[in-house]
A and B are shown apart, each in its own frame.
Chain A
Amino acid sequence: MAGPGKDPAQVEKAIDAEIARLQTGSIEEWELDKARNAARRSLASSLGSSLQRAILLSRYTVFYSDPGVLNTRYDRVASLTIADLQRVARQYLVPANRAVIVTVPAKPGATGAPGAKGAGGAQ
């Protein structure tokens, strides 16, 4: 969410710059460690709940025909390299695959604004 008075186009431009950096710029080793730790933490959190474990096992069975992915998933994430990340980013994070939607509040009194004549009152 952009702060008051900030142009959404500037926010989008900043996001584009980060994607470009991921595709072609330098990625530090600590950034990769961060991603690995985040994945490990997420998996550990999931394993604490019986329901989440059941969901993961069923998903791995449906998508990979192997519930045992639960036991190997983190090792696969940990084995990824910076080159892997950049290859995937260049292949998939491209404008052709993207939909950008910007929503802004209606100005007070404008057609369709809450309280304006004829405006809906949906929650």
Chain B
Amino acid sequence: MNLRTALCPLLSALSVVFLAVQAPVLGQGAAAAAPPAAPKFKGKAPVSNDIIKVKLPRAQETQLSNGAYLMVLEDHRVPSVRFEIIMIGAGGYYDPPGMPGLADTTASLMDEGTTTRSSEQIAQALDTMAASVSVSANEGSQIATVTGSALTDQFDAVLALASDVLLNPSFPEKEIGLYKVRARAGLEEQRSDPDFLRQERYSKAVLRLASGVERGSDARVARENEPRYARQFSQEQLRARPRDHRRVGRHHAGRSAREIRSRAEGMGQERDAVARRDRSTRPRGPENRARQSLGIGADGPDGRGTGDLAHRSRLRRDGRHESDLGGSNGRLYRELRERKGYTYGVYSNTRSLRYRGDWRAQMDVRTDVTEPALRDLLSEINKMRDEPVPLDEFRDANAR
């Protein structure tokens, strides 16, 4: 990249950065001169009520002969490519009955060996190319994904490796054994994590999940599952869904959308993985922790998501309540962090999923302020529900 070319779009950012780092040097040289004028602080950040206009790049889209749907976003500024393959219907949401955690576990094992490459060879190849390939099928998610990134001139090799991982996983016994060891250590560790325990209880209370455990516990799979389950799942769930295959990439000059299309069509079908968990250990008593994690949330009365919740609680349907209540400029942050000092951060957000979603607020607090923090959190939610939002606050939220 030519330096002059780089400088032009950077002037506004540079004015900040250069001033920040060079001020001491300038100060030394000007020691004998008149003292600089005291800075004037306005007391508040300027707020514009104009709606920001953003022109988004347009993706090139095409249906491939192998059934996959391809989307490409070209970005020629840097020599790198990122891609994501999405398989709808292969996430942990679709774990077979009695096999919670299978999708997640299968995904975790996909890059641990193929019919032609060992786990070590895959890792070394990716390291050598400074590239990444990752398979995931989170619990509760309707999709499984394969994501990857590479330098442009390594893209063909990385995509070929991703294809191999997707189509030819071998699930070696040795790697499954190592995975079980790692999974057990992770299970033990998460039992001491207040965030995990909060999420676990939240899933049971709000989402009404039967096991009450929807996050992080591959216990049953790690303990009981044999490689055959992972093989069976990867074949049934992934080979059956070639039409759900999408790739989104950005690439450097010299890599046209046509080239990307050519590579993607050669991939054939894809696959992924999945999982959920069971509860094998009991949580430790909360009195032994210095930190507590609080979470509050709700879904629709019939599990249809947050639309009903927003209506019932008079939170606005367009999602603006998140700016008013959650986020680093919201009421929760202002009241519970800035004024009360209960927590480092408190946030609320809405999850809009395909079949169900929820609204939630959560924060970590010191154990000794658990009760007042929870009380004030509920109070803020009640205020947002029962009292009209002042016009100024509403305008500020919209301006952000």
**Cα separation A122 to B10 with both chains bound (whole Å):** 42
Give the chain A neighbours of B287 by CB distance below 8 A: 115
| B249 → A minimal CB distance (Å) | 14
Q: Which of B16, B290, B364, B366 gathers most chain A CB within 10 Å?
A: B290
Q: Does A37 contact B (CB under 8 A)?
A: yes
**Cα separation A47 to B252 with both chains bound (whole Å):** 13
| B110 → A minimal CB distance (Å) | 23
Q: How many residues of A contact B (CB 8 A)?
A: 36
**Cα separation A44 to B80 with both chains bound (whole Å):** 7
Tell whether A114 pairs with B22 under 8 Å between CB atoms, given A41-B130, A71-B1. no
Q: In the bound complex, do residue B290 and residue A62 qualify as a contact, i.e. CB atoms below 8 Å apart?
A: no
| A2 → B minimal CB distance (Å) | 10
Q: In the bound complex, do residue B130 and residue A37 qualify as a contact, i.e. CB atoms below 8 Å apart?
A: yes
Q: Does B13 contact A (CB under 8 A)?
A: yes
Q: Does B78 contact A (CB under 8 A)?
A: yes
Q: In the bound complex, do residue A70 and residue B366 qualify as a contact, i.e. CB atoms below 8 Å apart?
A: no
With both beta carbons as reference points, the residue of chain B lying nearest to A71 in the complex is identified as B3
Q: Does A58 contact B (CB under 8 A)?
A: yes
Q: Does B344 contact A (CB under 8 A)?
A: yes
| B345 → A minimal CB distance (Å) | 11
**Cα separation A123 to B291 with both chains bound (whole Å):** 6
Q: In the bound complex, do residue B1 and residue A47 qualify as a contact, i.e. CB atoms below 8 Å apart?
A: yes
- Contact residues of B between 61 and 101, Cβ < 8 Å to A: 75, 77-80
**Cα separation A55 to B291 with both chains bound (whole Å):** 36
| A10 → B minimal CB distance (Å) | 16
Q: How many residues of B contact A (CB 8 A)?
A: 41
| A43 → B minimal CB distance (Å) | 9
- Contact residues of B between 243 and 276, Cβ < 8 Å to A: none
Q: Does B154 contact A (CB under 8 A)?
A: yes
Give the chain A neighbours of B128 by CB distance below 8 A: 30, 33-34, 37
Q: Does A54 contact B (CB under 8 A)?
A: yes
Give the chain A neighbours of B185 by CB distance below 8 A: 3-4
Q: Does B399 contact A (CB under 8 A)?
A: no
Q: Does B7 contact A (CB under 8 A)?
A: yes
**Cα separation A3 to B131 with both chains bound (whole Å):** 26
Q: In the bound complex, do residue B80 and residue A58 qualify as a contact, i.e. CB atoms below 8 Å apart?
A: no
Q: In the bound complex, do residue B290 and residue A44 qualify as a contact, i.e. CB atoms below 8 Å apart?
A: no
* Contact indicator per residue, chain A 82-109, by CB within 8 Å of chain B (1) or not (0): 0000000000000000000000000010
**Cα separation A3 to B397 with both chains bound (whole Å):** 46
Tell whether A40 pairs with B18 under 8 Å between CB atoms, given A50-B9, A57-B10. no
Q: Does A111 contact B (CB under 8 A)?
A: no
A-B contact pairs, 27 of them (CB 8 A): A3-B181, A33-B128, A34-B127, A37-B130, A40-B130, A41-B80, A41-B131, A44-B151, A45-B80, A47-B1, A47-B78, A48-B75, A50-B9, A54-B16, A54-B17, A57-B6, A57-B17, A70-B1, A70-B3, A114-B289, A115-B290, A121-B290, A121-B366, A121-B368, A122-B290, A123-B290, A123-B364
Give 8 new A-B contacts, CB below 8 A, not counting A44-B151, A53-B13. A30-B128, A41-B80, A44-B79, A48-B75, A50-B10, A58-B18, A71-B2, A121-B366
Residues of chain B having any CB pair with chain A under 8 Å? 1-3, 6-7, 9-10, 13-14, 16-18, 20-22, 25, 75, 77-80, 127-131, 151, 154, 181, 185, 188, 287-291, 344, 364, 366-368
